Amino acid sequence: MNRQSSVHFRDSTKFFYLLIIVVVAAATVGVVFLLKNVTRRKEEAKQHVFRVAEVTEDTIDPVVWGKNYPRQYDGYRRTVDTERTRHGGSDAFNKLEEDPHWREIFKGYAFGVDYREDRGHAYMLSDQDITERIKIVRQPGACLHCHSSVLSAYREAGIMAGIPADEAHRQEQIMKGFEIVCAMPYDEARKMVSHPVSCIDCHDPETMQLRVTRPAFLNAIRELARSDYPLPHLPSIERWRKDGLKGEYDVNIMATRQEMRSFACGQCHVEYYFKGEGKLLTYPWRKGMRVEQIEGYYDEMGFKDWTHKTTGAQALKAQHPEFEMWSQGIHARSGVACADCHMPYKREGAIKISDHHVRSPLLNISNACQTCHHFSESELKARVELIQDRTRELMGRAEVAVVALIRDVQRAQESGILTEQLKAAQDLHRKSQWRLDFVAAENSMGFHSPQEAARILGEAIDYARQGQLEILKLETVAR
């Protein structure tokens, strides 16, 4: 190597080492900056609650809670949004206009006059104020159990009835007040509440832990736990049973957090009826949660919602059996809670929160479905809508069958067949219509449990056709 080449080599080596030093220094600065950023974001994530307002057991107004939990409150406020899916949503369309079969199915009952799709949580009290159903039929204060933030009203009524007014008796005040408010005329009880369901109905104001506050659910879940109905999707109840049914099953102490993410919704999204003269709101789960077990409970109680104006059947009206249908489905058996799909987690900056914009998962597929199902949004939407389309088609066949039975009974009456001879057909009308309505009133168009929905609708069609055969036998004998 000559002198000139040697000098050039030394210069290149110096430049190489200098470049390495610069790159390492830049990388070090970058890593330090990244670590500081990660640390800052983690600290932000820890400090997502700033208590700027006091919330207590008597804080009903969600605006006050929203000062401490603005992100969750923003979501709650958006439940006023009007968005429609193919078969439902939060658009208050009139189901009677969309499908006139229901006018005949509910003939003689308030739902035959006003049957609108439910809107979001923020509307649940104001929608009750304007529905024709409370004007046609004298409704009890029991309706407020799920349409309002009613705990303070229960407590006030309990104290007025003589339960000591101290904190130690708070639950006793609520349970007594629940009985009193249920029995009150709706118009009178309505004056005791001012907000639809609110933060306090699902959260402990001190710890923000999920909780169940609704007396009807507390009563029903204890009764269900004591039954022999299998509940593999509710492990805390199965453990309590295995441990020997000691004491009472206390959902707020024994349930897991994941179970509570369904129980909080199941407080209201259920089948129910008003029991006895006191109109005590009751969930009919003593025999189990399937449609025929609830029917068996009603049969045993001799309960009817109304007498069908055309057929004279002792008819039942299904309410909101979402919790019952979810309990029959694969998501429940897989440990997926209501909140996982209807209130999925989302990120706002560094903070992860539960989305309080409660709505159909079809309107939020990326957060609601793709966390578990690794398919495109269009594919997932197509799968859900295929299930719902098939359920709707089968439901349409069930509607035709039930209406055909109603018209056959009417024809038999007009031909002079005695009312007492129609008992079997009336009973089959009750059974078929109950099953049809159980699927129709449930807010998922069969998705919560597609096989169970198909089974129930198949039975609805079968019972309706059996009823028509009964009429045919009577007409044959009469000729």
| Average pLDDT of span 77-105 | 87
**How many CB atoms lie under 10 A from the CB of residue 277?**
7
Supply the pLDDT for residue 156.
Answer: 97
Whole-angstrom Cα Rg for the chain: 29
Helix 377-414 and helix 423-441: axis angle, to 10°?
160
| Mean pLDDT lowest among 18-27, 202-211, 415-424 | 18-27
Reported as a single tens digit per residue, the pLDDT across 234-249 is 999 999 999 999 999 9
Percent of the chain predicted with pLDDT > 70: 96
44 pLDDT tier (thresholds 50, 70, 90): low
Q: How many CA atoms lie within 13 A of 268 on its CB side?
A: 19
pLDDT at 29 over 90: no
| Average pLDDT of span 257-282 | 97
pLDDT at 351 over 70: yes
| Average pLDDT of span 52-71 | 94
Residue among 388, 353, 475, 376 nearest 425 (CA): 475
Buried b (16+ CB within 10 A) or exposed e, 47-77: ebeeeeeebebebbebebbbebbebbbebbb
42 pLDDT tier (thresholds 50, 70, 90): low
Between 81 and 335, residue with greater pLDDT = 335
Supply the pLDDT for residue 272.
Answer: 97
Supply the pLDDT for residue 280.
Answer: 98
| Average pLDDT of span 204-224 | 97
**Sign of torsion, CA 433 437 440 442?**
negative
Supply the pLDDT for residue 134.
Answer: 82
**How buried is 16 (Cβ within 10 angstroms: 0-12 exposed, 13-18 middle, 19+ buried)?**
exposed
Reported as a single tens digit per residue, the pLDDT across 276-325 is 999 999 999 999 999 999 999 999 999 999 999 999 999 999 999 999 99
22 pLDDT tier (thresholds 50, 70, 90): confident
422 pLDDT tier (thresholds 50, 70, 90): very high
Query: How far apart (Å, rounded) are the C-alpha atoms in residues 99 and 396?
Result: 9
- Which parts of 69-206 fold into alpha helices (H)? 70-77, 95-98, 101-105, 124-130, 133-136, 144-147, 151-160, 170-183, 186-190
Reported as a single tens digit per residue, the pLDDT across 158-194 is 999 999 999 999 999 999 999 999 999 999 999 999 9
Supply the pLDDT for residue 92.
Answer: 74
pLDDT at 1 over 60: no
* Kind plus residue range of the DSSP H or E element containing 469: helix 450-478
Query: How far apart (Å, rounded) are the C-alpha atoms in residues 257 and 421?
Result: 54
pLDDT at 120 over 90: no
pLDDT at 45 over 60: no
Query: How far apart (Å, rounded) are the C-alpha atoms in residues 362 and 341?
Result: 9
Indicate the pTM of the whole model: 0.89
* Kind plus residue range of the DSSP H or E element containing 315: strand 314-315
- DSSP conformational letter for 286: S
Contacts of 468 (CB under 8 A, 6+ apart): 404, 405, 408, 425
| Average pLDDT of span 22-40 | 79
| Average pLDDT of span 374-402 | 98
Across all residues in the chain, what is the average pLDDT? 93
Supply the pLDDT for residue 26.
Answer: 84
* Kind plus residue range of the DSSP H or E element containing 108: none
41 pLDDT tier (thresholds 50, 70, 90): low
> And the tokens for 286?
């003593």
